[in-house]
Amino acid sequence: MTPLSPAKARALIAQGAMPVDIRPPDEFARGRVPGAVNVPVDCLDGLAAIAAPAVVFHCRSGARTAAHRARLDAAAPCPAYLLDGGLDAWRRAGLPVEADAGAPLELMRQVQLVAGALILLGVGLGFLVAPAWFALAAFVGAGLMMAGATGWCGMARLLAVMPWNRPAAGTGA
């Protein structure tokens, strides 16, 4: 697959190419190339339904598309290209981005914020109140280690069902 600069990708999209965002839906909801469809990298069978003369794959920085280049090329039903530098490069080029400012932060960013806050809280309380509070920091650290080793994150599962991460009633999302 040929990497394209944001300007060349925009020109190809203007000629009918379909921008395909391979990020998870929570990241896609925060911002995307106008007109992009969301086909997460773990759901590439959804590409078969795309009827376009070409596709331009992208992610946030270009790292995921580069890492999955062979899989994306094999799954594409038509000529495929990569947006060099991803959505970040698209933004830096001053090109328009569809954004939903009301969408919650990406789930992994929420996990990072909550885990960091709990670790700081545990360490702070361990020094200021009682050493037993250090166990909170150790527990969160152990959970992060387990998530990294197994790919299963209890905190992400818990955050995913929080009210701010659920679609509003009647939106159909």
Pairwise CA distance, residues 90 & 83, whole Å: 8
Burial class (CB in 10 A: 0-12, 13-18, 19+), 54: middle
Query: Which residue from 104, 86, 8 is spatially nearest to 41, judged by alpha carbons?
Result: 86
Does residue 59 have an active-site annotation?
A: yes
Do residues 16 and 55 lie in contact, with contact meaning Cβ atoms separated by under 8 Å?
no
Which of helix, strand or coil describes residue 137? helix
Do residues 115 and 138 lie in contact, with contact meaning Cβ atoms separated by under 8 Å?
no
Q: From the candidates 43, 59, 78, 153, which is the catalytic residue?
A: 59
Do residues 62 and 33 lie in contact, with contact meaning Cβ atoms separated by under 8 Å?
no
> Can you tell me which residue has the tokens 């090109």?
95
Catalytic residue numbers, as ranges: 59
